[in-house]
Amino acid sequence: MSEPFQKFRDWIDNRHEYAKEWKATRNRRIAGYFCTYVPEEILIAANVLPVRILGSHEPPTVTEPYVFAMFCHLCRDSLAQGLKGRFDYLDGIVEGQSCLHLRQAYNAWRLHIPIDYAFYIHVPHGVQTRHALPYYTEELRKFKRSLGEWTGRKITERDLARGINVMNRNRDLMHKIYEYRKPNNPKLTGLEAMEMVLSSQMVDKEDHNGALEELLKTLPSREMDRNPGVRLMIIGCEDDDRIFMKNVENLGATFVIDEHCTGSRYFWNLVDSSIQDRLVAIADRYISRIPCPSKDWPELTRIKQAVNLAQTYNVQGALVIQNKFCDPHGIEVPPLREELKAVGVPTYPLEFDVTVPWGQFRTRVEAFLETLTGLEELF
Ligand code: SF4
Ligand code: SF4
């Protein structure tokens, strides 16, 4: 089978061209969103295409007047894309409250880049309290009403059901494909898995579901002509650094699972379609999903999930990535490493910025891989 993941790669590389063509041919609106706490179900229900705003890994040179240089690179690089006009096809932007840095990126965009529509959803921080679900449901009601006013079209229960079905189908299909990361010789690399999930945040979910269905037909018979090497996990914030993934896997390793919001954390939880009130069902999904550390207290459920994934996917070690200046993830790094160590999974921390210094990282990752394979005992 030749290049079954090429479609996803092409979508990422040509994401802006795809969006422009989508808009021209369907004559519908596109909204950019920053954080995965934005419920795409409701945008889809409103016939609006949700696309995630992410950076390009070019050193940002234009954001200094708008956000502090000590904001995380995701925020600076995302805002830089807007300031450079790369997302000039967006009709609106939406943010779901998460961390302070992203809020600032959203506000700078809203204030300084011409945009027709901007909406900030007050996703509660205390998602583990009993107040979270009713509060967030009301926030979603406001969002739904606002979208209806913007598009001039009332969003019906049927529309919401369609949004839920499309999103759940996408999640379910990606779950199924992640199963093929479990065998001793996984049927896909970590880079391919990342490209699959990333592209789902950039294109029409119906197009993406079609590509996933095609992939599922051929993946079981795929023959991998590479030695999988060390089974690694990657854990972190938002992470779309494909060059890093490729370079690490070329050192004799395979990322067999991930825990970040451009990976499993994005799609792991489905909307419970047995809940009759569809807005409650959507709110419930985002309140009870695997949380981002910006909301994961007091329970630290994300750490439990990381440990569970590490064991289920039989990993030998984990790279723990922190985006430079990111406090929410930084705070969780020590307990996360301790919990993984307690179940016999060694970890190695790395700090990412807009561009990754691969020269330095290579030596460190190689040394880590050697400790995992026991090669150091030869010296
Ligand atoms: S790391 Fe957390 S706050 Fe940042 S985009 Fe992902 S889910 Fe949102
Ligand atoms: S990486 Fe950290 S600082 Fe940046 S958006 Fe995510 S949670 Fe916020």
Does ligand 2 come within 6 angstroms of the Cβ of 238?
yes
- For position 357, what pLDDT does the model report? 84
pTM of the model: 0.96
Confidence (pLDDT) at 129:
96
List CB contacts of 129: < 8 A, sequence separation 6 or more: none
- Closest atom of ligand 1 to CA, residue 98: 3
Per-residue pLDDT of the chain (379 residues; tens, 9 = 90+): 459 999 999 999 999 999 999 999 999 999 999 999 999 999 999 999 999 999 998 887 899 999 989 999 999 999 999 999 999 999 999 999 999 999 999 999 999 999 999 999 999 999 999 999 999 999 999 999 999 999 999 999 999 999 999 999 999 999 999 999 999 999 999 999 999 999 999 999 999 999 999 999 999 999 999 999 999 999 999 999 999 999 999 999 999 999 999 999 999 999 999 999 999 999 999 999 999 999 998 999 999 999 999 999 999 999 999 999 999 999 999 999 999 999 999 999 999 988 888 988 999 999 999 999 974 454 4
Ligand 1 atom nearest 99 alpha carbon: 3
CA nearest ligand 2 atom 6, residue: 237
Measured CA to CA, the distance from residue 64 to residue 249 in angstroms comes to: 35
Q: Cis peptide leading into 39, omega within 30 of 0?
A: no
Exposure string for 335-348, b = 16+ CB within 10 A, e = fewer:
ebbebbeeeebebb
Candidates 235, 245, 243; CA nearest to 292 is 235
User: What residues does ligand 1 touch, defined as CB less than 6 Å away?
Assistant: 35-37, 98-99, 102, 237-238, 261, 292, 294
Token duo for residue 49: 């295409």
Q: Residue 96: CB within 6 Å of ligand 2?
A: no
Q: How far is the CA of 55 from the centre of ligand 1 (A)?
A: 13
CB 251 within 8 A of CB 365: yes
* Residue whose entry in the numeric block shows the structure tokens 């991930």: 258
| Domain range summary for the chain, segments of one domain joined by + | 27-155
The pLDDT of residue 2:
58
User: What is the C-alpha to C-alpha distance for residues 315 and 311, in angstroms, rounded to an integer?
Assistant: 7
CA of 326 to the centre of ligand 2 (A): 5
Regarding the beta carbon of 174 and ligand 2, being less than 6 Å apart is answered: no
Tell me the fold of 27-155.
Rossmann fold (3.40.50)
